[in-house]
Structure 1
Amino acid sequence: GGPGELGGPGELGGPGELGGPGELGGRIDAARGALAEVIERIRRRVGYERFLALPDLDDIGAAVRPGVPLAYLVPTGGGCLVLLAYRRPDGEPAAEDLWVPELSTAAIDRLVIGGPTAERSFLWQQITGDPGFAAVLAGVLGEVGPRLAAPLAARLRELDATGVVLVPGGRLASLPLHAAPYGRDGETACLLDDFDVHYAPSAWVHADALSRAARLSAAPATLTGIADPTGDLRYARAELEDVAALFTGRGAPAPRTHYGERATKDALTGGLPATYVHLACHGRYTVTDPLESHLLLAGDVPLTLRELLDGRGFEGARLVVASACQTAVSELLFLPDEAVGLPAGFLRAGAAAVIGTLWPVDDVSTALLMTRFYQGHLDERLPVDRALRRAQRWLATVTAGELAEHFAAQASPPVDSGAGRRLPAELAAAGAIRFGFDDPDHRPFAEPYHWAPFVLMGA
């Protein structure tokens, strides 16, 4: 209804016009009734049946698999509260809390939005892709790791956990918590070294994602993909061609892939439903209007978060891979306790899981990681979380010598190998030269800046 139905400023009037306690109480009751009616109308919409309902332990337990606890990370004025939900050996749900006093809301704000100027803050550099971001990222993670990741990892090991689902609140959602370093047995480690890591907007959303993933577990692996719709992503086409080759010959329909000016919104939606959707294109997070954050398709046509939240176009997708910049950034300025971003949009649109990125990414390292991820998931039959984790750890440890050999093989594939060249000869040669002149034992993508932006949201 309009403002008058819920009581606008003019209706209640000033202090002298409020009337007696009985009249004011009646107005408050009427406003509560109107609010309850609005909530009930929202709950009649598909997917909003539990809107604003308080979850109980059974609700949260539905999102918790054996060996994979769910960790709510709740910043407060006095510190960070970690609410850990898990299953006991007998299968019953249980919950406990950890307290991290050093990581208050003010401390997190200092790390994320602090700095001598706004342009030097973590958040600003994350969104703009500032060249100095890698150093700022390392500094922030160096503070978060010992304070938050270390005690959480210690408790997860005590529970014999193999994975964890993180539900970060506030501005913690901007950080790759899976990459925050801490000391373990005299070495430096991070959550990704010890556990498969998921992210989730809430327990309810994750429980729904688990249910969808289970329903789709036996579905044929079909692929719809777009690549380089704007014509300026040199490695995106080869990335999708490598991915499509892994889907070929598996007894399912041939991959539906579109490149360059043919990678339109109609081509994408016309290729749905598909169990896998791969989007190798530009992404953009819009600070001033997060619902306009988008993936850019051919003809400079955006696929916005607003559109995703309004539809169910990705129903049936086991996984959406948004292989683009800033596709996992969530709203951090105006809704500090909510997770509103493209991953939540794809989950709302029907997908069971989404892989996105927390900042602008390099197209070479992205193409390498994506190929490795799909090889692990499809050829080795690893779960999505384990395949992504292994691909990230591989990217962090691969040497320049190994990469030089990879690109040299792409530049001159053996005639009798049966494998076509998917990377253009000039790009393959450039890669071979780039890494061939490096120290062969150097790990060019070892810094978290290269492998940490990729996050899995959903099941």
Structure 2
Amino acid sequence: MSAIYGVLGSCYQLRYPESHAQTDLDEAMTAFQEAIKHPDNVELEISNHIFLALLFNQRYHSIGNASDQSASLENLRLAVEIYSQHVSSLKPGKVFSSGINTLIGQYNRTGHIQELEQSIQLFQQLVQLLDGYPEALPDLLVTLASAFQILHSHSFHPGTIEEAIEYMERAISIGETSGQATAQAYHRYGVCLRARYQHNGNQRDLQAAAEALHRAVSLAVPGDPDLPAYLTDEGTVVSDRYNKSSDINDLEAAISSYQKAVDMLALSASDSVLCWNNLATGLLERYKQLGSLADLEQAILLMQRVLASDEADPKDQAGANSNLGVALADRFESAGNMADLEHGLQAHRRAVAICNPASPDYAMYLNNLGSILRVRHRLNRELKDLEEAILIQYKSVELTSPGSPTYLTHLNNLANALLERHQIYNEESDLEESIRIYRKVVELSSGSNHLLAISNTNLGNALFRRYQLNQDPIALEEVEKSYRLAQSLTDEGSLIMDRLLGNIGNVLHEYYQISGDQKYLSEYRQVMTDASCKGMLTDPVNILPMIKQWARYETARQAWEVAGKAYAYSLQTINQLFRTQLLRKHKETWLSEAQGIPARAAFARAKMGDCNEAVLILENERTHLQSEALLQHGADLETLRATRPDLVDRYSSISARLSSYQSTELDKVNTTLDLLAMQSANRELEALIEEIRHIDGYTNFLQRFTLAQIHETAGPAPLVYLVVTPEGGMAFIVDSIRVTLLPLDQMTESALRGKLADFVQEQINWLSALTNKNTDQHQKAEATSAWFSQLDEITGWLWNAGIGLLCEHLNAAGITRGVLIPTGLLGLLPLHSAWCEDPDAPTGRHYALDSIAFSYAPNAQSLQRAQGTARRVAPTALLAVDNPDGSLRSSENEVQVAAAGFEQARVLAGVEATRQAVIEALPGYPVLHFSTHGHANWEDPLRGGLLLAGGEFTLADLLGLHLQNARMAVLSACQTGVQDVTLPDEAISLAGGCLQAGIAGVVASLWTVDDVSTAMLMARFYDLWKKDGLQPAEALLGAQIWLRDTTNGEKKRYFKTALPEFTNQRLPSSAADAFFKSVVLKDDNQRAFVHPYYWAAFTLTGV
């Protein structure tokens, strides 16, 4: 009867995992209880008690009844007690092993350590009972060692692993004596020895573990289900040995073991997650040594597979997250994709959050988190990242035993963090502490070539910093010694070799500076060429600062040809980093590294006599974001639609997807889904562009802008690329045939920055005075006077620094129109209002716009598109936004004047001018007029914009629109032409955004403008454009000169003619009446708006 009940109980027990029905579990327990009541033999009775122990334990964890936990342990105790009465006739290893191992496994999954400890006590009783029966002990000893190992995996107490090793050594000793040695025993022994090695770092334990695990693999029979676990753990120990020896053969052997294990397991196998994790670790290390991107990508896929698996327990998840974070950080350094860096940081934070703080792995996960925080700090310059990293690195060192294999790595990274903090605050204590730690790591890492190479490199970096402070040549020799030793220990294919060459280059350059010996200069240039050629492809993140420094050195000694080469490497590296980014904010991060480089590269090219290449650099290596937008949305595909509408539709669809992705915030991006979708869209667009280029007539479709295209764009008016560098300025004047260089030696970067700092500060003081309720009228008047004086100062300086020379040159050539393409910080200034004294002029000054009708453009490519739109779209209808918040007194009159020039006009006034209403209406009108408040956001340019009813219309909103039929936008608001100061070469502003969105021409302002004078200026602009038929650039120029030069009396007469009693009405009567009244009380002979503040803020960008 016992056997029948036992079979019935087993059936219910087997059905329960699928059904999850509590009745199945209860029925199984009832059946085994009945079997115990009707014992057939002692062996079955013991087995039934063990099964009941398992079932009670299972029900306890299902419903939480404490009595079930007690019953589980009581049945296990009874099994031991019954056995003790029949010890001479039974083999407990066979009787107990399956049930006990299952119970142990359940304890391992649930983490209820108290139950496991009580079970261990019972197992130890069994071992004592069997002391006289050695042939029966091995299986039980292995089981007991397993229990202690599991206990160690939860408590991490060294004593538990010592107990496990003691039992394993007894089991193996007995097994070898009796000829019963098993693969399972050697496997468990090897795992326990490795756990002890992780605590003490003793090489004898590591070697013994490797031998035991190799024996386990050798003893395993074909088809053994445990063989993948043996292979995985053997690979782990060989990998540990590699970490000490740096022998690539050990690494290859570890990867081979991991790969065999993975190949043996089904994707759903519970052990597969550990195999995937370990294989990924090995591939990552091989990538670091040999640089194979295939290894890196396979490792990332394996980690993502682990994290998606239902079989991954918290330990697996923590390990996979940490490995994924390391892999993504490695991929970031190889390609510079900021999304990888951010998601790598998130993965490391998850690893730390999941891991048990008592685990030896916890310190390692902390160390990895600290390392990636330092990487992000080097890019975003946010001190909170570095300070968090330092705290974390200290904690990781504190939690790591000095004998641990990872201790020196953690020390090394702590020193790295301290050295970085020293470079910010110049605290000598941080520098000296980092040197002390590096020396300690070098002293103790003699067994590992890899760690020794890294620690010597880092020691060299710290010593070089000390040399920079004290200029001691003896110290420089020690720097070189450290770098050279690191070089001798580093494989040629290693990813750190190019960085190391750059460091050696720094030493060679210092030797040249000290001695003047040309051999050092030649060696330096060769080393930097070698480092740049390979490093910009394999390690662009770290090699870029070294290449930029090289370019600066060569520029300082006016070695223009070598400087040109170094700048070319810099630009290639930045382009590569830019192209790999998926999100706009990440693109901007790398573009910040490019600021000023195109100007300096063009300057070097010009000094070499190659002005054509200089112009191509200025055209194609700036304004990347705008060029990318033109690539996605500005392509002229209308002629292709007639023959291949499918390609045109695909192009539009992919472009829309990319726009949506690139404006996404990072925290809304899912690593495995959205990033893959973004990458896929990028690849689709690239493939489609290539497909279009194979169609007749589209060979040059969306290629980089050529010199021929630039000359073509300059046909209506020459283009003037303006450059400022530390060495001086240049103007590249491009007409339809040639490029002419005009040196502007006085326009240096330092002079510009000094003038601009004063200009911006006085503007800020003035705006603060106007908006502060506690500022009295006298203080406001003083602030206004200071701001006006500063505006006079900087515009006068602009004339003397080079704009005057430019005007004279253009006038001498008979040129009256020109398009300014200012680079860098020049884009913040009203270049058209540069002036010199002229007693014969009505104002006593001659301004640049008196000589040349200047307009502006970000680059020739956007201007060419604007020219095409202007030819295609007629300015027939107007959409106007009028004073959404009701604060502009002259807005209604201004809008009336604007609307009067159009047969069709729609005005959204006051509360009607909501963001949604404006966005919906914009595509239907070729001319747009905004009379409202505007502002530039210098911290986040995309959030700058125009005030509407109940919200703002931001630059980010504008960039999301594609206005293919918009001829002109007039942004009669404050600061709508001000560009981003952090990325000046990108010309990011509302005006530039309008061009990027498809509008052909934009009138915008560079500062906060006067309400009345602006309304008058706009009235005159529309008068000249729509009624006199002038082009927008000439109309704006005419309006500015009119506002500036006409006396108050002349303005009265002009507006008087528009009043109802006069027949020749040019303006709406109500507007004319308001404008007339604003000047009627002023002195007729004075010019109320003569100062540049009133008229110079407005520019025309585009055509």
So what's the TM-score if we normalise by structure 2?
A: 0.37
Match of 1:445 among 1089, 1093, 1099: 1089
Shift of 1:342: 0.5
Other-structure match for 1:110: 754
Q: Distance in 1 between matches of 2:578 and 2:808?
A: 44
Query: Larger RCO: Structure 1 or Structure 2 (Cα < 8 Å, ≥ 6 residues apart)?
Result: 1
Equivalent positions of 1:260-299 (< 5 A) are: 260-271=910-921, 272-299=923-950
Q: Are the aligned partners of 1:126 and 1:133 in contact in 2 as well (CA < 8 Å)?
A: no
Q: Are the aligned partners of 2:897 and 2:1068 in contact in 1 as well (CA < 8 Å)?
A: no
- More strand per residue: 1
Q: Distance in 2 between matches of 1:424 and 1:232?
A: 20
Residues 126 and 202 of structure 1, relative CA distance in 2, 3 Å threshold? farther
Residues 244 and 207 of structure 1, relative CA distance in 2, 3 Å threshold? same
Secondary structure, counterpart of 2:849 in structure 1: helix
CA deviation vs aligned residue, 1:399-430 (integer Å, no higher than 9, x gap): 212334566677x74399998643497x56xx
* Matching of residue 83 in structure 1 with residue 736 in structure 2: no
Secondary structure, counterpart of 1:247 in structure 2: coil
Q: Are the aligned partners of 2:969 and 2:999 in contact in 1 as well (CA < 8 Å)?
A: yes
CA deviation vs aligned residue, 1:240-290 (integer Å, no higher than 9, x gap): 112111213xxxxx2111111111223323333211100101001112111
Other-structure match for 1:229: 884
Secondary structure, counterpart of 2:1070 in structure 1: coil
Shift of 1:150: 1.3
Equivalent positions of 1:326-337 (< 5 A) are: 326-332=975-981, 334-337=982-985
Residues 302 and 144 of structure 1, relative CA distance in 2, 3 Å threshold? same
Q: Which sections of structure 1, spanning at least 5 residues, go unmatched? A: 88-92, 249-253
One-letter identity of the residue aligned with 1:225: A
Match of 1:245 among 900, 909, 922: 900
* Matching of residue 156 in structure 1 with residue 810 in structure 2: yes
Other-structure match for 1:39: 579
* Bigger Rg, which one: 2
Q: Are the aligned partners of 1:112 and 1:123 in contact in 2 as well (CA < 8 Å)?
A: no
* Matching of residue 209 in structure 1 with residue 859 in structure 2: no
Shift of 1:436: 3.0
One-letter identity of the residue aligned with 1:145: W
Q: Are the aligned partners of 1:273 and 1:315 in contact in 2 as well (CA < 8 Å)?
A: no
- More helix per residue: 2
Secondary structure, counterpart of 1:279 in structure 2: strand
Q: Distance in 2 between matches of 1:215 and 1:311?
A: 19
Residues 220 and 174 of structure 1, relative CA distance in 2, 3 Å threshold? closer
One-letter identity of the residue aligned with 2:880: G
One-letter identity of the residue aligned with 1:308: L
Secondary structure, counterpart of 1:137 in structure 2: helix
Secondary structure, counterpart of 2:731 in structure 1: strand
Residues 455 and 293 of structure 1, relative CA distance in 2, 3 Å threshold? same
One-letter identity of the residue aligned with 2:939: T
Other-structure match for 1:389: 1037
Residues 61 and 126 of structure 1, relative CA distance in 2, 3 Å threshold? farther
Shift of 1:393: 0.6
Other-structure match for 2:798: 144
Residues 119 and 420 of structure 1, relative CA distance in 2, 3 Å threshold? closer
Other-structure match for 2:1018: 370
Q: Are the aligned partners of 2:746 and 2:801 in contact in 1 as well (CA < 8 Å)?
A: yes
RMSD after superposition: 3.4
Equivalent positions of 1:122-133 (< 5 A) are: 131=784, 132-133=786-787
Match of 1:99 among 737, 743, 755: 743
One-letter identity of the residue aligned with 1:214: R
Q: Are the aligned partners of 2:747 and 2:802 in contact in 1 as well (CA < 8 Å)?
A: yes
One-letter identity of the residue aligned with 1:157: N
Residues 20 and 184 of structure 1, relative CA distance in 2, 3 Å threshold? farther
Residues 360 and 442 of structure 1, relative CA distance in 2, 3 Å threshold? same
Aligned residue pairs, count: 435
Q: Are the aligned partners of 1:242 and 1:422 in contact in 2 as well (CA < 8 Å)?
A: no
Equivalent positions of 1:418-457 (< 5 A) are: 421-423=1069-1071, 432=1077, 435-457=1079-1101
One-letter identity of the residue aligned with 1:153: C
CA deviation vs aligned residue, 1:280-325 (integer Å, no higher than 9, x gap): 01001112111111001111x111111222331x321110000001
Residues 54 and 439 of structure 1, relative CA distance in 2, 3 Å threshold? same
Other-structure match for 1:23: 494
Other-structure match for 1:414: 1061
Secondary structure, counterpart of 2:908 in structure 1: strand
Shift of 1:367: 0.9
Shift of 1:31: 5.3
Q: Distance in 2 between matches of 1:234 and 1:73?
A: 39
Match of 2:819 among 165, 180, 193: 165
Q: Distance in 1 between matches of 2:979 and 2:1007?
A: 11
One-letter identity of the residue aligned with 2:454: G
Other-structure match for 2:961: 311
Shift of 1:126: 8.0
Residues 107 and 234 of structure 1, relative CA distance in 2, 3 Å threshold? same
Shift of 1:336: 3.2
Shift of 1:6: 2.5
Q: Distance in 2 between matches of 1:143 and 1:414?
A: 47
Q: Are the aligned partners of 2:1004 and 2:1098 in contact in 1 as well (CA < 8 Å)?
A: yes
Compare 72-81 and 12-21 and name the one that shifted more: 12-21
Q: Which sections of structure 2, spanning at least 5 residues, go unmatched? A: 1-299, 301-327, 334-340, 342-370, 376-412, 417-452, 458-489, 499-533, 541-572, 583-627, 636-688, 690-699, 771-782
One-letter identity of the residue aligned with 2:920: G
Shift of 1:168: 1.0
Shift of 1:144: 1.1
One-letter identity of the residue aligned with 1:203: A
Shift of 1:185: 10
* Matching of residue 257 in structure 1 with residue 907 in structure 2: yes
Shift of 1:30: 4.4
Q: Are the aligned partners of 2:744 and 2:801 in contact in 1 as well (CA < 8 Å)?
A: yes
Residues 415 and 124 of structure 1, relative CA distance in 2, 3 Å threshold? closer
Shift of 1:65: 1.9
Residues 208 and 142 of structure 1, relative CA distance in 2, 3 Å threshold? same
CA deviation vs aligned residue, 1:156-207 (integer Å, no higher than 9, x gap): 1122212111111122111111011136797642221122211111121112
Shift of 1:35: 7.5
Q: Are the aligned partners of 1:150 and 1:183 in contact in 2 as well (CA < 8 Å)?
A: no
Other-structure match for 2:356: none
Secondary structure, counterpart of 1:355 in structure 2: strand
Q: Are the aligned partners of 1:283 and 1:295 in contact in 2 as well (CA < 8 Å)?
A: yes
Q: Are the aligned partners of 2:875 and 2:967 in contact in 1 as well (CA < 8 Å)?
A: no
Q: Are the aligned partners of 1:227 and 1:279 in contact in 2 as well (CA < 8 Å)?
A: yes
Residues 356 and 27 of structure 1, relative CA distance in 2, 3 Å threshold? closer
Other-structure match for 1:251: none
Q: Distance in 2 between matches of 1:163 and 1:337?
A: 24
Q: Distance in 1 between matches of 2:835 and 2:579?
A: 43
Secondary structure, counterpart of 2:884 in structure 1: coil
Shift of 1:82: 0.9
